[in-house]
């Protein structure tokens, strides 16, 4: 299989020898500062390893650290571990606060949270992943990064296209692909490569793109991206888009190869749609249950210093804080809308982990600061000595919230079991 892959790349690249040589070199690693919580330069001061700027993402950095996610600041959502070339697609969309934005194939959440940073909590960000297990991982990352205006959905693109025709101002399609840009990073990418898989991916991408175009509002923009090099999945699919949908215009494109630029490999193309209509959707009307509202009001008076923006919305047994512009969720498989605040636990309000990570840290009134040694114990789920408080508090490291605990005789750990380190 690899022989056939290399033969194809030889035909594609005039500098093939340089590419072939780079395949035996270590992959590039990167992180992206989460500007919803911290500035990029401030993050540089906190982290114990060197950071070198990524040219196509102002908040992105190259790292040589073997496991850059093994710090408490990662658990606090101050940064996202992301391959550097994968950061090139989202900036092309140039999303703005207040827009309607869709990331159609969003898991695990790198590009979606990248878009969220530019939206600054304003507007509606729909993050979709059709595979349930991957959608749950997506939700975990959205919560960790403190994204307040996202709706996380698990649906087929075809179903979404029927529901959201002409609705979105900006759409990102980071489509499933043959993964040729992952060859240095993941052994499975080489093992699974075949011409048949390339052709299958190219056909599937066309179907996904057709759905995306249907959801694009007049005057909107769409970015199509892959982490592969095959022309069938990249340039030819871009040409197919222009042929099938003549109201689209190719604005720009770029392709990153690991022997030419510091990135594992990515293709991204920006399209604009000619001016036209922008659809409206029926707004969400279900208000929060009165009992939940009362419990939250009493709890938040002690836990928070200020009222959080948005509106209260009952979601299953829980209470969420959602954007004012939220559309009706009827008929959609929604994992979460906005920030999950907590739920009614037998007549008392029990806060959710997402609240500690989603609320602005200067809005938190009840906090417990941990030492470096205590942080590791907290992340393992251990009980800690009391900090002299009473009741629920946000557990912090250097002022940045990691999760929740309940203080009293001891600091009772409420860090989610599924996130605990071993």
Q: How many domains does the chain have?
A: 3
Closest CA to 264 of 62, 122, 126: 62
Q: Is 177 a catalytic residue?
A: no
Residues 6+ positions from 387 with CB-CB distance below 8 Å: 368, 369, 393, 407, 411
Clarify whether residues 108 and 153 are in a common domain: yes
Strands annotated E in 190-325: 216-226, 248-256, 266-273, 311-315, 318-322
Question: Which residue range is the domain that position 321 belongs to?
Answer: 286-328+340-360
In a domain, 150, yes or no: yes
Residues in the chain: 422
What is the model's pLDDT at position 316? 84
d(CA 412, CA 98): 39
Closest CA to 210 of 176, 237, 178: 237
Clarify whether residues 146 and 246 are in a common domain: yes
Clarify whether residues 100 and 237 are in a common domain: yes
In a domain, 97, yes or no: yes
What is the model's pLDDT at position 186? 84
Euclidean distance between the first and final Cα of the chain, in Å? Answer: 38
What is the model's pLDDT at position 286? 67
Q: pLDDT below 70 — which residues of the chain?
A: 286
What is the model's pLDDT at position 191? 83
d(CA 149, CA 118): 12
In a domain, 52, yes or no: no
DSSP 286-328: PPPPHHHHHHHHHHHHHHBSSPPSSEEEEETTEEEEE-TTPBP
Clarify whether residues 318 and 249 are in a common domain: no
Clarify whether residues 196 and 303 are in a common domain: no
Clarify whether residues 377 and 248 are in a common domain: no
In a domain, 8, yes or no: no
Clarify whether residues 374 and 256 are in a common domain: no
In a domain, 66, yes or no: no
Q: What secondary structure letter does DSSP report for 55?
A: T
Clarify whether residues 300 and 191 are in a common domain: no
DSSP three-state, residue 56 = coil
Instruction: Check 177, 201, 227, 396 and give the catalytic one.
Output: 227
What is the model's pLDDT at position 298? 96
Closest CA to 205 of 184, 178, 229, 185: 178
Maximum Cα interatomic distance, the chain, rounded to a whole number of Å: 70
d(CA 124, CA 337): 10
pLDDT in tens, 291-349: 999 999 999 999 999 999 999 999 888 999 999 899 999 999 999 999 999 999 999 99
Q: Residue 67: exposed, middle, or buried by beta-carbon count in 10 A (0-12, 13-18, 19+)?
A: exposed
Clarify whether residues 141 and 178 are in a common domain: yes
In a domain, 12, yes or no: no
In a domain, 191, yes or no: yes
CATH number of the domain where residue 122 is located: 3.40.50.150
Angle in degrees, 0-180, between the axes of helices 110-119 and 132-144, rounded to the nearest 10: 40
CATH number of the domain where residue 388 is located: 2.30.130.60
In a domain, 3, yes or no: no
Clarify whether residues 110 and 153 are in a common domain: yes
Give whole-number Cα distances, 8 to 5, 12, 113, 175, 381, in Å: 5, 6, 34, 21, 50
The alpha carbon of residue 225 and the mean position of all alpha carbons in its chain are separated, in whole angstroms, by 15
Clarify whether residues 131 and 231 are in a common domain: yes
Clarify whether residues 296 and 352 are in a common domain: yes
């Amino acid at each position: 299989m690899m022989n056939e892959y290399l033969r194809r790349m030889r035909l594609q690249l005039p500098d093939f020898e340089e590419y072939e040589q780079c395949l035996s070199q270590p992959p590039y690693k990167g992180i992206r500062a989460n500007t919803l919580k911290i500035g990029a330069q401030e993050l540089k001061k906190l982290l114990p390893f060197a950071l070198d700027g990524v040219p196509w993402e102002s908040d992105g950095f190259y790292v040589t650290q073997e496991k850059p996610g093994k710090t408490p600041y990662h658990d606090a959502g101050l940064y996202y571990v992301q391959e550097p070339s994968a950061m090139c697609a989202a900036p092309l969309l140039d999303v703005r606060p207040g827009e309607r934005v869709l990331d159609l194939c969003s898991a695990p959440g790198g590009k979606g949270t990248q878009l969220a940073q530019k939206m600054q909590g304003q507007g509606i960000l729909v993050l979709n992943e059709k595979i349930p297990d991957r959608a749950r991982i997506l939700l975990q990352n959205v919560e960790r990064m403190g994204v307040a205006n996202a709706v996380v959905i698990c649906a087929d693109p075809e179903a979404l296209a029927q529901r959201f025709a002409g609705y979105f101002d900006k759409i990102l399609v980071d489509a499933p692909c043959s993964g040729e840009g992952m060859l240095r990073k993941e052994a499975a990418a080489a093992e699974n490569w075949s011409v048949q898989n390339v052709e299958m991916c190219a056909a599937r991408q066309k179907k996904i793109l057709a759905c995306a175009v249907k959801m694009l509002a007049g005057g909107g923009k769409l970015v199509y991206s892959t982490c592969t090099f095959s022309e069938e999945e990249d340039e030819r699919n871009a040409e197919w888009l222009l042929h099938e949908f003549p109201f689209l215009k190719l604005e720009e494109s770029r392709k990153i190869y690991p022997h030419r630029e510091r990135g594992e490999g990515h293709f991204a193309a920006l399209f604009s749609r000619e001016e036209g209509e922008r659809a409206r959707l029926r707004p969400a009307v279900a208000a929060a249950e009165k009992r939940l509202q009362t419990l939250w009001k009493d709890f938040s008076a002690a836990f928070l210093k200020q009222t959080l923006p948005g509106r209260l919305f009952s979601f299953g047994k829980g209470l969420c804080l959602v954007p004012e512009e939220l559309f009706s969720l009827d008929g959609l498989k929604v994992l979460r809308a906005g920030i999950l605040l907590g739920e009614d636990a037998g007549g008392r309000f029990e806060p959710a982990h997402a609240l500690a990570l989603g609320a602005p840290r200067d809005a938190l009134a009840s906090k417990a600061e941990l030492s470096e040694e205590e942080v590791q114990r907290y992340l393992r789920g251990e009980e800690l000595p009391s900090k002299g408080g009473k009741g629920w508090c946000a557990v912090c490291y250097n002022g940045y919230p990691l999760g929740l605990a309940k203080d009293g005789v001891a600091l009772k750990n409420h860090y989610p079991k599924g996130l605990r380190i071993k």
